[in-house]
Amino acid sequence: MSSVTGQQQLLQWLKPEEPSDYERDCAKMIEPVDYVIYFEKLNLILAEAMDVLVKCGISDMSLSGDVSVVVCTAEGDPVSCNLGTYLHVISSVLPVKYIIRQLRNDSSVGIHEGDFFFCNDPLYGNVHNPDQIIMMPIFHDGTLLAWAAATAHTNETGATEPGGMPVRARSRYDEGMHLSPIRLGERYKFRRDLLSMMENFASRSPRTFLIDLRSRVSCCDRVRIRIKELVQKKGPDFLTGLFRYILMTAESSARDRIRGWNDGIYRAVVFTDSIGLEEGLQRVSLTLTKAGDNLLFDFTGTSPEHEGSYHAFPHTVVAHAAIYLFGWPFYDLPRCTGTLASCEFTFPPGTVFSPREEAASSNSVIICSTVMSLLPQCFSKLMFDSPQRDLVGASMGNTGSGYIISGTNQWGLPETSMLAYPLNTEGGGGRVDSDGVDAMGFPWCPAGKAPNVEDEEHSYPIVCVSQKYARDSCGFGRYCGGLGTQFAIMPLLVDYLALMLVSKNSRLHTTQGLFGGYPPRVIPGVIIRNTDLLERWASGDVELPDDIHDLIAKRALAGEYCFTAHYRPTELLRKDDIFVGFSSGGAGYGDVLERDPASVIADLRNGKISNWVAKHVYCIVYDPETLKLDLDGSNKRREEMRIERCQNGLPYRHFIKNWSKHKPPEEILRYYGRWPDAQPNRNIFRL
């Protein structure tokens, strides 16, 4: 197939446009005090618009933060945003620039006051087709001045499985609705014909789809109204100058910061255990070169594309890099293309990050969680010897426990949704001076929030059996990662629900620890079939464990306990079945033997870790009944462990001689590429 936009073209569009003479002249009129005041004014406009977006929307993903609203220059460069997630700041750029370049001067389309456009096709810049964007041009006296763009994740696309992220997709033809940029509205009104077409695509969940779609339009219109008020007050030249000043300031500030970091090459490698369709080892590799005020991100060495659904296009990888870059090293700079102007990205063709256009990509966020693990690895080593040392830390959990339920809800309406609690409660990574935050949030959405039990039980035909921290789920270290959570539901008021798990991390974890800290534990898929829970609740049984680990280990309920991989294709969850899910804790930082023994005791008291971990990992000595620490005994025990390390560790050459003889079983390596360098080693056919 052919698309109008190529992968390299999209990457080039992420660079800020060259300023026109008019823009340069306008920028010269902006005083620093104007920048400070009116940049904040833009932020307030966008905060108000975000309120509109969230309050008018109804999907779990909108409410929990998988959203953004962006204001862009007339030529499509974002200058400020409110979120949600930084993903959509990047993905907003590309469809807007496509409209400007391909549709503005096309006599059959054009751009007019009162228009609004829609796009959800990754080949035109979206992250994946559930992430859907509305773009609205903002005019003043007939001149295009700016764009507003609002994006939200929508849980239905008419794909082969419910939920918009079909794990069994083999190509884009299994993924449902892909719409290139189209004019969905004119003169501030929806086009009824197109709206009906889209409603039919999303017929598993039309109500949520339509309400969330309208919320995006309302959000953009609020930006339009406020920007026009600003222009009435300050004039169009001021707005144009302000926008360009923001882009220029962002770029120069980012370059100044980069110059303070040590020149060199930083490498990291992580692995995943699923391609969506089935299990398989894949490698994702990053070589980050820092020279002067430039950063080069090279993903050579990443495993080849495959027949499954866990792919992403290059601009989507950049969008995931932006989550870290805007969230950490450049947290205080404008979230705009100017800040990233110093970053170059390289992708050899044919990898999971640069597949052919037919490849399925609706689960791009799952494979791209590797990027969110690679960047903290490299940047922590880049920034340690710099004024940004306080930003050093291990990565968040980055599992992405995407649990989708679908069916007829308790009010008789068709409904498909992704349960947002596990997604929004992954642990933060251990940091240079402190533990990671427990259930910190949604790694993709720094401003996301987890719904509470009552919200979930009100929204969906389910009862929550458990929803709380998960013991031992953090990565261990001198500063441990924050805890992840446990979550268990069963259908209520309906006979069944369709259930699909979009995830990974059952065999190994995507993240790595940092500076001697460990990655978090892995997560199985767990369903307990045909339980007696409702019966025992009805009889007043209060002896049931309230912790899922204990429930599973002790088989405390009657029923069939099914343990599988953490990704699961669509299946039925019937009455009396319990689905058990987990989010990941964050990765650990530093040597476990350097964790303050008193902190380990506190972890035990708080239920954060088990006795097994305190004894075998942190190697402290204490009374298990009273939790009284034996400090001298702990120090002695730890010294013994350090001596044991020196006795059992091998010098590099001896270690490599033995280690290099090992290799994973062939059935694991089917999708890896050539061992060990992951070069493409077979042809991929898609129908």
Partner 1 sequence: MKVRITESLDIDLVKELWCCNRCGHELISARLNYKEGCLIRARHPLAVYQPVVEGRPYTFAPDPDWCRIVEFYCPQCGVMLENECLPPGHPITHDIELNLESLKLKHGLHG
Residues 375-414 that bind partner 1 (CB under 8 A): 377-378, 380-381, 384-385
Options 662, 683, 685, 687; binder of partner 1; rule CB under 8 A = 662
What is the residue-wise DSSP string for 70-125? EEEETTS-EEEEEES-THHHHHHHHHHHHIIIIITT-TTT---TT-EEEE--GGGT
Range 423-462, binding partner 1 (CB under 8 A)? 432
Among 643, 657, 674, 681, binds partner 1 (CB under 8 A): 643
List the structure tokens of 539.
């009889």
> What's the chain's length in residues?
687
Stretch that binds partner 1, among 84-92, 157-165, 172-180, 519-527 (CB under 8 A): 519-527
Instruction: Kindly state whether residue 537 participates in binding partner 1, applying the rule CB under 8 A.
Output: no
Interaction pattern, residues 49-78, with partner 1; x per rule: CB under 8 A? ------------------------------
- At 648, the amino acid letter reads N
Spell out where 354-413 has E strands: 402-408
Touching partner 1, residues 604-623 (CB under 8 A): 610, 612-613, 616-617
Which region, judged by CB under 8 A, interacts with partner 1, from 47-55, 192-200, 360-368, 515-523?
A: 515-523
Strand ranges (E), 204-323: 264-274, 279-291, 294-298
CA torsion sign, 428 to 430 to 436 to 439? positive
Of the candidate spans 247-255, 450-458, 505-513, 532-540, the one that interacts with partner 1 by CB under 8 A turns out to be 505-513
Which of 50-58, 193-201, 461-469, 545-553 is the region at the interface with partner 1 (rule: CB under 8 A)? 545-553
267 belongs to the binding site for partner 1 (CB under 8 A): yes
Q: What is the pattern of x (binds partner 1, CB under 8 A) and - over residues 468-487?
A: ----x---x-x---------
Question: Residue 624 CB: number of other CB atoms within 10 A?
Answer: 10
Dist. CA 227–CA 225, nearest whole Å: 6
State the sign of the Cα–Cα–Cα–Cα dihedral 630, 633, 637, 642.
positive
Q: Which of 434, 650, 674, 682 binds partner 1 (CB under 8 A)?
A: 650
User: Strands 131-140 and 402-408: what pairing?
Assistant: unpaired
Q: Is 263 in the site for partner 1 (CB under 8 A)?
A: yes
CB of 270 to partner 1, least distance (A): 8
Near partner 1 by CB under 8 A: residue from 4, 197, 265, 534: 265
Q: How far is the CB of 505 from partner 1 (least distance, A)?
A: 9
Is 626 or 647 the residue whose CB approaches partner 1 more closely? 647
Find the binding residues for partner 1 in span 664-683 (CB under 8 A). 664-665, 668, 676
Q: How far is the CB of 590 from partner 1 (least distance, A)?
A: 5
Residue 97 CA from chain centroid, whole number: 24
- 10 Å CB burial of residue 645 (0-12, 13-18, 19+) is exposed
Query: Do residues 289 and 298 make contact, with C-beta atoms less than 8 angstroms apart?
Result: yes
SS3 label, residue 491? strand
Q: Which is nearer to partner 1, 628 or 662 (CB)?
A: 662
Coil, strand, or helix at residue 304? strand
Measured from the CB of residue 446, what is the shortest distance to partner 1 in angstroms? 25
**One residue of 412, 646, 683, 685 binding partner 1 per CB under 8 A:** 646
Enumerate the β-bridge partners of residue 153.
131
Q: Is beta strand 343-346 parallel, antiparallel or unpaired with respect to 402-408? A: unpaired
The residue within the footprint of partner 1, chosen from 20, 105, 564, 606 (CB under 8 A), is: 564
Q: Pick between residue 9 and residue 610 the one whose CB is nearest to partner 1.
A: 610
